[in-house]
Amino acid sequence: MPMPKHAVVIAGGGPSGLMLAGELALAGIDVAIVERRANQDVTGSRAGGLHSRTLEVFDQRGIVDRFLAEGQKSQATGFAGVRFDISGFPTRHPYSLGLWQNHIERILAGWVAELKVPIYRGIEVTGFAQDESGVDVELSDGRSLRAQYLVGCDGGRSLVRKAAGIEFPGSDPTTSNLIAVAELAETPPEWGIRRDAHGIHSLGRVDYEVHDGQIVYADKGPVGVLVTERGVGQTAEPTLSDLSEALVAVYGTDYGIHSPTSITRFTDAARQAASYRAGRVLIAGDAAHVHPPDGGQGLQTGVQDAVNLGWKLAQVVKGISPESLLDTYHTERHPVAARVLRHTMASVALRREDERTKALRDTMAELLGMDEPRRHFAAMMSGLDIHYDLGEGHPLLGRRMPDLSTANGPLRVFDLLHGARPVLLNFGTPCAFDISPWADRVQLVDAKYDGPWELPALGAVPAAAAVLIRPDGYVAWVGDQTQPALTDALTAWFGPPTASG
Ligand SMILES: Cc1cc2nc3c(=O)[nH]c(=O)nc-3n(C[C@H](O)[C@H](O)[C@H](O)COP(=O)(O)OP(=O)(O)OC[C@H]3O[C@@H](n4cnc5c(N)ncnc54)[C@H](O)[C@@H]3O)c2cc1C
C-alpha cells in the first residue's frame, strides 16, 4: 500500500499543534495531526486561561468569541505577587480570560475540525527519517506517513526534538508540586493561595465565577489542589497517599481528600531547545520550551509560536518563499521564550517565604507600584509588548498591529486577518500603491483612521501612512508610497514579484 502523504505532519494535537494545523489549513496546506490521545480530553487542570495577546491572536482569526462565551474575564496578569490592572491598555481585550485548558483545546479542536484537518488519533509518532525532499514519519501502528515537513508539537518530553538531536539546555528542578483534581470530605476554612517556607499552595473549587474582580467559588463540586512537596526528584507516578501526605504537611489535615480524577507533578525545571529547526523538522510549544507555570505563559507562548510558524511554513511549502524564511521562526520566537524562562525563574525565586525573599518581593512590589515599570511588566505578562527585531524604524515595526477601527465601513484591522493573509493597509492618498506583482498574495486596502495610535508598552506613537501587516498580525513595514523599501519588504516576507502581476 502506498504511504499516505501530507505536505505537513504535526506530531501532537495539544494547543500548539491544533493552532498550527488551523493556520496551515487556512493557507490551503494539506496538513495532518498525529495525536497519542484517543480524544481531546485533558488529564488534570493545566492552563487556567488566556492572556490578552493570545485573545487578540484568536480575534485575528475570527474565533475569539468562542472562548469569550465560555470564560471569565478578570485582571489576572501579575508578577512577584503584584496584580496588574490592564483595563486601560489600548487593546480590545484588556483582561485575561479564565478558562481551563480542556475547554481551550475543545474549542480549538472544533475550529480545526471545521477546517477539515485529519487527526490520526490514538497513535504516536515513534520516529522519523528525513531526506532531501521530505520526512518519513513512523507511527506506533506500524504505518508511516510521508511529509515535506514534520513539526513536533509533542510537549515537553518531545520525541521529535530528541530524535532530531536538538539540545535542550536549561536548569534542573529545585521545587516539586503536585496538582490534582479531587473531592474533599471537609470544606477548608478558606479557599485560595497559601505561602509558607516551602512554597506556594492553593485549594479552590474547579468551578468558579468572577464577580467585581473577585473569584467566587462554586458551593460544591471537585476541588483543584496545588501543593508544594517537601522533596525534589521523585520519579514515580504520584498517588493519593503522596497528595494526602503533602496536604497534611502544609495544612495539618488532608480534608478527607478522595476520588481524585487526576494527580500530576510538575517542577520548576526551565529548559529551551537550542534550535527550533533541524532541516525539515521543526518544533513548537512545550516541545521547544518548558518552564514553571508561574504567570501562566506556556500555552500562550506555544499558540503564538504556531501563529508565527504557520504562514511561513505554508509559503515555503507552496514554493513562494525560500527555506530561509523558516529561520526567522527561530530568530523571532527563541528570544520570546527565553524571556519567559527568565521571568518564570525569577518568579520561582520570589515564591519563597523566608525573610530575605519577602523583603525582595516587597522591593519588587514597590518598583511595580511605579507607573513605568508597572506598564512595562503588565505589557510583558499579557504578551502585548512582543517585539520582533526587524531593524530600525517606526515603533510599530516588528510589533503587533493594533486592531484599529477604520472609517470605511465597519472595518476592523483584525477582520482583514481572518484568512491569515498579509495586508497592506494604506491610510494615505487612496490608490497610491500599486502592488499588483503581489496581488495574488497580499491584500491592498485603502482605509481612513483619525484616532490615536497607541501601543500598550510605549503609549502614543506617530500615525503611520501605510503598514504592511504579516498574517500573524506583526508589522513588517511602515512608510508611504515614496519609500522604495516596500518592495524589499514584500519580497523578503511574501516572495518575489510575479511577472504577470
Ligand atoms: C500545572 C500546570 C499549570 C499550567 N498553567 C498554565 C497557565 O495558566 N497558562 C499557560 O499558558 N500555560 C500553563 N501551563 C502550560 C501549558 O499547559 C502548556 O504550555 C501547554 O499545554 C503546551 O501546549 P503544547 O501543545 O505545546 O504541548 P502539550 O499540551 O503537552 O501537547 C502535546 C500533545 O502531544 C501529544 N503527544 C506527545 N507525544 C506524542 C507522540 N510521540 N506522538 C503523537 N502525539 C504525542 C500529547 O498527547 C499532547 O496532546 C500549565 C502547565 C501545568 C503543568
Euclidean distance between CA atoms 446 and 428, whole angstroms: 8
The two most distant CA atoms of the chain are separated, in Å, by 77
The pTM of this model reads 0.94
Ligand 1 pocket check for 224: Cβ under 6 Å:
no
Q: How far is CA 263 from the centre of its chain?
A: 24
260-276 confidence digits (pLDDT tens) = 999 999 999 999 999 99
Length, in residues, of the chain: 501
Across the chain, what does the average pLDDT equal?
Answer: 94
Half-sphere exposure of 483 (CA within 13 A, CB side): 15
324-336 confidence digits (pLDDT tens) = 999 999 999 999 9
Cβ distance 12 to 283 under 8 Å? no
Most confident of 37-51, 80-94, 108-122, 232-246: 108-122
What pLDDT, on a 0 to 100 scale, did the predictor assign at position 339? 98
> Which residue's CA is the closest to the ligand 1 atom numbered 45?
12
CB atoms within 10 A of CB 14: 27
What pLDDT, on a 0 to 100 scale, did the predictor assign at position 335? 98
179-215 confidence digits (pLDDT tens) = 999 999 999 998 998 888 788 899 999 888 888 878 8
Cβ distance 145 to 32 under 8 Å? yes
- For Cα atoms 178, 184, 190, give the angle at the middle one, nearest 5 degrees: 85
Euclidean distance between CA atoms 306 and 302, whole angstroms: 6
Top mutation candidate among 299, 308, 336, 340 for ligand 1, by most atoms within 8 Å of CB:
299
Euclidean distance between CA atoms 384 and 456, whole angstroms: 7
> Which residue's CA is the closest to the ligand 1 atom numbered 42?
124
C-alpha grid cell for residue 333? 520566537
Q: pLDDT-based confidence at 457, cuts 50/70/90?
A: confident
Q: pLDDT-based confidence at 501, cuts 50/70/90?
A: very low
Residue 243: which of 255, 233, 232, 353 has the closest Cα?
A: 255
Q: Which residue has the cell 526534538?
A: 161
> Which residue's CA is the closest to the ligand 1 atom numbered 27?
155
What pLDDT, on a 0 to 100 scale, did the predictor assign at position 373? 95
Cβ distance 174 to 268 under 8 Å? yes
* Phi, psi for residue 33 in degrees, rounded to 5: -110, 140
Closest-lying ligand 1 atom to the alpha carbon of residue 285: 26
Ligand 1 pocket check for 257: Cβ under 6 Å:
no
Q: How far apart are the first and last CA of the chain?
A: 42
Ligand 1 pocket check for 385: Cβ under 6 Å:
no
Ligand 1 pocket check for 22: Cβ under 6 Å:
no
Distance 269 CA to ligand 1 centre (A): 15
Higher pLDDT, 237 or 410: 237
DSSP state of 213: T
Top mutation candidate among 154, 162, 289 for ligand 1, by most atoms within 8 Å of CB:
154
